[in-house]
Structure 1
Amino acid sequence: MSGTDPSFDGVIGDTWRESRPSWLPPRQRSASPNVVFIVLDDVGYADLGCYGSEIRTPHIDAMAARGLQYNNFHVTSMCSPTRACLLTGRNAHAVGMGFLADFDSGYPGYRGHVSTHAATLAEMLRDHGFSTLAAGKWHLTPAAEISHGGPFRHWPTERGFDRWFGFQGALADQWHPDLYEDKCPLPPAAGGGKHLSEQLVDRASRYLVDHRVAHTGSPFFLYLAFGAAHWPHQVPAGAIEHYRGRYDRGWDVLRRQRFERQLELGIVPPGTRLPPSNPGVPAWDSLTADERTVCARFMETYAAFVEHTDEQIGRLRAQLERLDLAQDTLVVLLSDNGASPEGGRIGTVNTRKHFFYEPEPVAEPLALADRMGGEDSFSHYPVGWAQASNTPLKWYKTHTHGGGVRAPLVVDWPAGIRRPGLRTQFHHVTDIVPTVLEIAGLGAPAVYRGTPQLPIQGTSLRYTFDEPQAPTRKPSQYFELLGNRGIWQDGWKALTHHVAGTRFEDDVWELYHLDRDFSECVDLAREQPERLAALRQLFEREARAHSVLPLDDRLFERIAARMQSAPTEYLYYPGMSRTDRLRSPNLTGRSHRFTADVELDGPRTQGVLLCAGTAFCGYTWFVRDGRLVHEYVFSPGVHEHIEAVLPPKPARVRLAYEFRKTGPTSGETTLSIDGQVLATGRISRTWPSRALNTGMLCGRDAGTRKSPDYEPPFAFTGVLHEVRVHLGDDLEGDPYAHYRSYRTGDED
């Protein structure tokens, strides 16, 4: 043993002649199959062809035909918690991800990151010789750590992945995403105009080639998490043409058609009932002609988005075949939760505006009907289509009814599945990791790199591969999100639909016999109060065991206290990488000031000083034609503009823009030079929450146009020394009160 290397067991003499070397053991080689996880985003239970959809998904359908298709598979009802379960095999709250990664509400179950006491599958497999590769959405990093300078503790490459190409946060503009490779931000134009889904498969395919060359004979784990079909629904224009006119008959007809197809395919059992429409879904025939036109166009775009994603999955399969890897690769495909109702009554072409402030009049999406899916739209379909996406289930994403938590699951493994077909056993997303470990012949570590580990809480579903009719081995499973709760055991499910802001103790619980009531149509709570009481007691035990408590039904208010303690001073330099949107200064509900130390060369100087966001929402501060300009983009076509004439002589000066809040979402603005006010103005309405789609740049712009006065990148031609951002101290205790009153209709 050497004093500096306890693993050395050779002999060290004065020279090599009297020494005996020892080498570190070679990279382990596992006999396991390769593993691929494919995660779809906000894709409803009925959105894939093999689950009854009219949307063309031939590559996913082929996977289902070769392998296994599950109709009783469950997830959490939101993205971050599901991904935490999928990658750790533990329940979401138990690992600190009871809600979104953007939020740390100060309690163990809601830390907004995956605990180091729960090693990810990538960490487990990498220690057994797997190459670990990831591409796509990574909504598991707390917002406070999405920084070019670190810390990187909860980035993919620190949680077991050798390589990662993708984006942070919940969503990305499919045409202008903020992308990273490993820990490095990529230039805004790095994608060369390609759709994000295509870029993800391009990079995943390259990673597979690199693995094949470097580690022939060793397995790999690929985690491919599409942004699709989360809003914004964006897709190449040509992909939409096939669906023109397909949805003119509306969501009521489509829902019935999908239900009938599901019965024919056996995806839902005989005797299943189609529930009445969810509250808030208008009858198609009640819409105006213009509303029907735009609603149909929204669904055409969404359908094309799903089909385009399937095409990329086909490209990945082709790459596996080219590399002679397809036969012994276990592919697991699922959606992270049910379809999203966030598009509202008739949908939106600017989801940020709709979600954070006000619905759009039908004239706005009607004017963009022929450009939906392109970079001019940031769209989301209406709630009626979300209900059809979840056929035959009730409610949506965030709920614990089937529409929130029952999801498609397809497993394809040509070398290992000998009895393909439908599987009906109840299972949950926590069950995927123990399934992979069982197939690989591995156990989960009790201690990982010195940290004691939580036990795996899922139940392997490997037995279902060979025993199609076997009863489920899953003992029970709880559900919770935003105060919506549920518990399943022995074919029975108790749940409650919680209304935010109401008392939890007043919630009404429902009881369903899922083994006989697939779509949760017959509430047996009154008929079987003792069974309901027993299940509620089981939920309480599970909630305490897995850090579900305290129950919390707040949305953005969860982070109000954290906002108060966030930095109030920011410093930027030209040439910096774009900051992530989640780490850009949050101007919500407070006064703020930008100052720039610049050298102007008279009227010839022009370019961007500081900008953030896109043409859908953002701001830009720039110099052009001897004018200093600030433009606030509330939404396309709704801009607040202030400008001032700059002195014509070259000089080094300090430019400033200031917003002084005068109301919850309004304020007065000034432009100044060396402390002298040059112009005053007003912003009549601002976003009541962080609404940026992309982050901040200094000294240049990128992506879509924020101002009609220039085309990106419009780099600053003078000397820009620095830009400082100062946030005022007038942030209210509850900066989201205005937002909450709009969303709930409670003006108090």
Structure 2
Amino acid sequence: MSIEEYEQGQPFPGTVARTIEESKPAWPAPRRSREGSPNILFVVLDDVGYGQLSCFGGLVDTPNIDRIAASGLRYANMHTTALCSPTRSSILTGRNHHSNGVACIMELATGYPGYDGRMPFENGMLPEILVEQGYNTFSVGKWHLSPSEDNTPAGPFHRWPLGRGFERFYGFLGGETNQWYPDLTQDNASVRPPSTPEEGYHLSEDLADQAIKMIVDAQVNAPDRPFFMYYASGAGHAPHHVPKEWADRYAGAFDMGWDAYRETVFDRQKELGLLPHDAELSRHDPDVPEWDTLSDDERRLYSRMMEVYAGFVTHADHHLGRVLDTLEKIGELDNTLIMIISDNGASSEGGVSGSFNEMLFFNNVPEDFEETLARIDDLGGTKSYNHYPWGWTWAGNTPFRRWKRETYRGGVADPFVVAWPAGFSARGEIRSQYAHAIDMVPTVLDALDIEPPKAIRGVRQAPIEGVSFAHTFMDADARTTHTTQYYEMFGHRSIDHDGWRAVCPWPGASFTESAEVGRKVGDPITAELLEQLDREGWELYDITEDPSESRNVASHHRDRLEKMIALWWSEAEKYKVLPLDGSLQSRLATERPQTSKPRSQYVYYPNGSVVPAFAAPPIFNRPYSIEADVDLPSDRVEGVLVAQGGDAGGYSLYFDKGRLTYVYNYVGRDEFEVSSPDPVSSGRHVIRFEFEPTGEPDFGNGKGVPGKAQLYLDGALIASTDFPHTTPFLFELEGLSCGYDFGAPASSGYEPPFEFTGRIHSVTFDLAGALIKDDDTEIARLMAQQ
């Protein structure tokens, strides 16, 4: 007997009478995909430059990405927005980043339509479209597309992955996380990693495990149902964490230095056909020291930093390969449309000399070269929070100028690989047509023969702004259909049009050249400055002849340049780029809508979800107290009452063999401790730690307020000491946990999770007293964590 089905929302076609005997059933039709519909896999790399992957001429081995390139296509002319969240918003919606309200990172949103960080629901995401076409939809890895103030276990959740069309999610919500001890979310709840680094845990492996599980679960239960997976590994964003044996594979591979690296990679890119044979290598960047001017120790340290980064990316590629192997095993690899892209160019947040612990940079603490050199063997391990120097950033973007956050091609031209063996027969070829991240969604819809929906969940949809490049899959000579694309990031502007490129760098073409005219990153663009920039600040490049932006021909083609400038302004009006904003201070100071009222008291209970670091009590540079209402057992009193951060910076209040202890970890350099002289007796007690500032902070030298640290038991003082300084701005990016230590320990006195053996009724933070702030350093922190 056949089943009668009808479309939901249409009249019921069956019969409803007085009895079953007299009635005829019909069923709402389930959502089914078209027969033979391909799976879709988006792989989004983080901070990986054009000249790093081996299939783009780079010296970082990525055999599994190479494998996909060999079975499909490499696009030599793909572009992004120059920054993380903006590009990811474009990848998933097919709209420009300002149209999505994601002008920069979510943490620096301002109250204008292109800048508010609230991605509008009229800009539907690809999973929202495909789930209605009968697809399973999975997100694994980095999100960073919801307002940061919403990313707590209290939500709201409507801009988390499950609120934007994904059926399953496993990953992290912010811009970066510790690869050994990540802050993980599964669907809409915080979860702990399944094992520890000592047991072999690493986030890249965990993400692959979860991706495989999602794919296999779907295949076992609905083998005819295709899936869309958004696979966004944290590699290669700092911290560059990787098992030592993977970094050791590159021992000596980068001893030639970044200058020679560029020459080698540039030659390889020409041989591969990614660049014309008469292309020029862009100039030596004024901000980067020449390799030959460095000391032997500097070269040894910086080479190892690059070895660790390369091992990190290769390790992530290996685990991506496990996902690909799974698809092959279940017979789905050939009918999977795969697109692999980086979100922006290589990252320069490591500074001129790199860092063993990024928290030093975020806290204005001067790097100590000798200290870092002494810990060279720990780079990439659980005790580090490392990033390479910007000489490797510059080299990683070969052959282009500059890097992430700037709209020269080093920031916006990125590696891109497409394969779909069952969908097109081209193998191992290169495509030179212009494309942008906003083109990925319309290309998928074109390949699937799906019209963009007029409405999603009752919300009328805005037009998709990208264009399909599916017509280039089988035609290397097909014309470029994406002829005009604007760029803007923190006031740094450019525009591509018909093979020409105009750039207006802000605050200048490099940090060195900016300083020469009295400008720096974060300076606001006044109306007077803007007029001056539009008169004399734009550069012009013929990209068809000069892909590396080496020859500024603005003085020879003034008429063309003026038309390009006018076109930029036209595009800016169309896509909500205005008001143009080069500032950082005012963005940081912006008051944003909050889901809860400001408070000075925070109450926690044991074994709950991890509280994200940005939502934990802001105890920096102010008086505060931590009070715990506890029951202590008669034997083996130990474990953590509350902890935040880790061995790169944080604190922990805990019991060790019955003695109450508070440890404060200053950026991984100092551990300050106050402890009770004797074990605390069993029974119910009120434990209290108080911190009282005794002096002023020294923000310029990376030191927060000094203060008196005191322990109280049932109201009586039992221990006191002085902390000579504290962390000024930021602990290691691990959240707060109550009743156990979630991640890396702030104290060297125990191994996590070190669960409390008694009973915690509550832990209360009281943040009475004035807060001392330094906005400049807070800006630097936010800019680096994306």
Q: TM-score, normalised by structure 1?
A: 0.94
Which amino acid letter does the alignment assign opposite residue 174 of structure 1?
A: Q
2:667 counterpart of 1:635: yes
Q: Quote the Cα distance in structure 2 between the aligned partners of 1:423 and 1:42.
A: 23
Which residue in the other structure is 2:190 paired with?
185
1:602 Cα deviation after fit = 7.4
In structure 2, C-alpha distance between the alignment counterparts of 1:403 and 1:554, rounded to whole Å: 22
For 1:587 and 1:702, how far apart are their aligned partners in 2? 19
Residue in structure 2 matching 1:663, options 667, 677, 696: 696
Matched, 1:57 2:58: no
Cα separation, partners in 2 of 1:682 and 1:428, compared to 1, 3 Å = farther
Q: Which residue of 1 aligns with 2:122?
A: 117
Matches of 2:23 and 2:396 in 1, distance apart? Answer: 70
Post-superposition shift, 1:531?
2.1
**CA deviation map 1:230-276 (0-9, x unaligned):** 11111122212221111112111111111111122121112211122
Change (3 A) 1:534 1:688: farther
1:437 aligns with 2:437: no
Q: Tell me by how many angstroms 1:572 deviates.
A: 0.6
1:717 partnered with 2:757:
yes
Q: How far did residue 551 of structure 1 move?
A: 2.7
Aligned partners of 2:679 and 2:324: how far apart in 1?
62
Are 2:552 and 1:531 aligned? no
- Which of 517, 520, 523 in structure 2 is aligned with 1:502? 523
Q: Distance in 1 between matches of 2:103 and 2:410?
A: 19
Task: Give me the identity figure in percent.
Answer: 39
After superposition, the Cα gap between the structure-2 partners of 1:10 and 1:687, relative to the gap in structure 1 and judged at 3 Å, is farther
How far apart in 2 are the matches of 1:467 and 1:699? 61
* Pair 1:272-2:279 in alignment: yes
The structure-2 alpha-carbon separation of the partners of 1:743 and 1:92, relative to structure 1 and needing over 3 Å to count, comes to: closer
Say if 2:645 is the partner of 1:616.
Answer: no
Cα distance change, pair 638–648 in 1 and its aligned pair in 2 (3 A) = closer
Equivalent residue for 1:154, pick from 149, 159, 180 = 159
| CA distance in structure 2 between the partners assigned to 1:648 and 1:261 by the alignment | 67
Matched, 1:313 2:342: no
Question: Could you give the per-residue CA deviations for residues 38-79 of structure 1, whole angstroms, max 9, x where no partner exists?
Answer: 111101101111111122222212222221111111001111
Distance of 1:740 and 1:436 partners within structure 2: 37
Structure 2 letter corresponding to 1:266: G
Higher mean C-alpha deviation, range 385-394 or range 547-556: 547-556
CA contact (8 A) 2:442 2:467 kept: yes
Residue pair 1:60, 1:310 contacting (<8 A) in 2 also: yes
Amino acid at match of 1:449: R
Deviates more, 1:214-223 or 1:453-462: 214-223
Please give the alpha-carbon distance, in whole angstroms, between the structure 2 residues aligned to 1:377 and 1:171: 15
Q: Tell me if 1:202 matches 2:242.
A: no
Match of 1:731 in 2: 771
After superposition, the C-alpha distances for 1:205-237 in whole angstroms (9 at most, x for unaligned) are 121111112222222111111100111111122
For 2:385, the equivalent position in structure 1 comes to 378
Give the drift of 1:120.
Answer: 0.5
- Residues 110-149 of structure 1, C-alpha deviations (whole Å, 9 max, x = no match): 2224221111000000100111112111111221222223
Unaligned runs of 5+ in 2: 1-7, 508-520, 698-703
Correspondence 1:299-310 to 2 at 5 A? 299-310=306-317
1:24 aligns to what?
28
Per the alignment, do residues 93 and 729 of structure 1 end up closer, same or farther by CA in structure 2, a change over 3 Å counting? Answer: farther
Q: Is the 8 A contact 2:255 2:299 kept in 1?
A: yes
CA distance in 2, matches of 1:308, 1:354: 26
Out of 141, 144, 149, which is 2:149 matched to?
144
1:620 positional shift:
0.8
User: CA shift at 1:659, angstroms?
Assistant: 3.0
Show the 5 A alignment for 1:696-711. 696-711=736-751
> Would the aligned equivalents of 2:657 and 2:679 in 1 still touch at CA under 8 Å?
no
Mapped to 1, the partners of 2:275 and 2:747 lie a distance apart of 51
8 Å Cα contact 2:585/2:776 also seen in 1: no
The whole-number CA distance in structure 2 between the counterparts of 1:102 and 1:434 is 29
The residue matched to 1:93 in structure 2 has which SS?
A: coil
Bigger CA drift: 121-130 or 268-277? Answer: 268-277
- Partner amino acid for 1:520? E
Cα distance, 1:5–1:347 mapped onto 2, change above 3 Å: closer
The answer (yes or no) to whether the contact 1:657–1:672 under 8 Å persists in 2 is: yes
Residue type at the aligned position of 1:261: R
User: 2:406 matched to 1:399?
Assistant: yes
Counterpart CA distance in 2 for 1:139 and 1:689 is 21
Distance in 2 of aligned mates of 1:234 and 1:159: 30
Question: CA separation in 1, counterparts of 2:614 and 2:195?
Answer: 20
Shift of 1:384: 0.7
Please tell me whether residue 12 in structure 1 is matched to residue 22 in structure 2: no
Determine the C-alpha separation between the residues in 2 that align with 1:603 and 1:663: 43
Q: TM-score, normalised by structure 2?
A: 0.90
Distance in structure 2 (CA, Å) of the matches to 1:190 and 1:106: 42
- Structure 2 residue 635 is matched with structure 1 residue 580: no
Q: 1:656 to 1:189 in 2, by over 3 A?
A: farther
Following TM superposition, by how much is the alpha carbon of 1:96 offset from its aligned partner in structure 2, in angstroms?
1.3
**What is the CA distance between 1:23 and its match in structure 2?**
0.8
Alignment match, 1:447: 455
Q: Which of 122, 131, 134 lines up with 1:129 in the alignment?
A: 134
SS at match of 1:95: coil
Give, in whole Å, the separation in 2 of the partners of 1:541 and 1:591.
52
Cα distance change on mapping 1:741 and 1:227 into 2, 3 Å: closer
Displacement of 1:355 in angstroms is 3.4
Distance 1:199 1:403 in 2: 31
Matched residue type, 1:614: G
Whole-angstrom distance in 1 between the partners of 2:590 and 2:419: 46
Task: Name whichever of 539-548 and 40-49 sits farther off.
Answer: 539-548
Determine the C-alpha separation between the residues in 1 that align with 2:90 and 2:769.
39
- How much does 1:628 deviate? 2.9
- Whether 1:472 aligns to 2:483 is no
Q: Is the 8 A contact 2:364 2:777 kept in 1?
A: no
Task: Specify the code of the residue in structure 2 equivalent to 1:666.
Answer: V
Q: Which of the numbers 458, 478, 483 marks the counterpart of 2:466? A: 458
Q: Which residue of 2 aligns with 1:251?
A: 258
**Deviates further, 422-431 or 551-560:** 551-560
SS in 1 for 2:41: strand
**C-alpha contact (below 8 Å) 2:41/2:231 kept by paired residues:** yes
User: What 5-or-longer segments of structure 1 have no aligned partner?
Assistant: none
- 1:8-43 residue CA offsets vs partner (Å, 9 max, x unmatched): 443333332233322110332224311110111101
1:290–1:362: 8 Å Cα contact kept in structure 2? Answer: no
Q: For 2:91 and 2:132, how far apart are their aligned partners in 1?
A: 19
Instruction: Please say which of residues 314-323 and 386-395 is displaced more in the overlay.
Output: 314-323
Q: Distance in 2 between matches of 1:284 and 1:94?
A: 42
**C-alpha distance in 2, partners of 1:266/1:684?**
59
**Which whole-Å CA distance do the structure 1 matches of 2:470 and 2:747 have between them?**
56
Q: Is the CA contact 1:76–1:405 (under 8 Å) kept in the aligned structure 2?
A: yes
- C-alpha distance in 1, partners of 2:37/2:283? 47
Distance (whole Å) between structure 1 residues aligned to residue 346 and residue 253 of structure 2: 20
Q: Is 1:95 the counterpart of 2:124 in the alignment?
A: no
1:510 is matched by which residue type in structure 2?
A: E
CA-to-aligned-CA distance 1:637-692 (integer Å, 9 cap, x gap)? 32232334468544533222233444342142333334444444444444443443
Give, in angstroms, the shift of residue 450 of structure 1.
1.3
- Is this contact kept in 2: 1:96–1:115, CA < 8 A? yes
Which secondary structure state, in structure 2, belongs to the residue aligned with residue 243 of structure 1? coil
Contact 2:648 2:731 in 1 (8 A): no
With over 3 angstroms needed to count, the CA separation of the structure-2 counterparts of 1:567 and 1:646, relative to structure 1, is: farther
Tell me if structure 1 keeps the 8 A contact 2:363–2:777: no
Corresponding position: 1:518 with 2:541: no
Question: Would you say the 8 A contact 1:46–1:52 is kept in 2?
Answer: yes
Once the two structures are overlaid, the 10-residue window that deviates more, 557-566 or 44-53, is 557-566
C-alpha spacing 1:95/1:729, structure 2 compared with 1 (3 Å): farther
Shift of 1:434: 0.2
Give, in whole Å, the separation in 2 of the partners of 1:435 and 1:293.
Answer: 45
Q: 1:731 to 1:533 in 2, by over 3 A?
A: farther
| SS state at 1:349 partner | coil
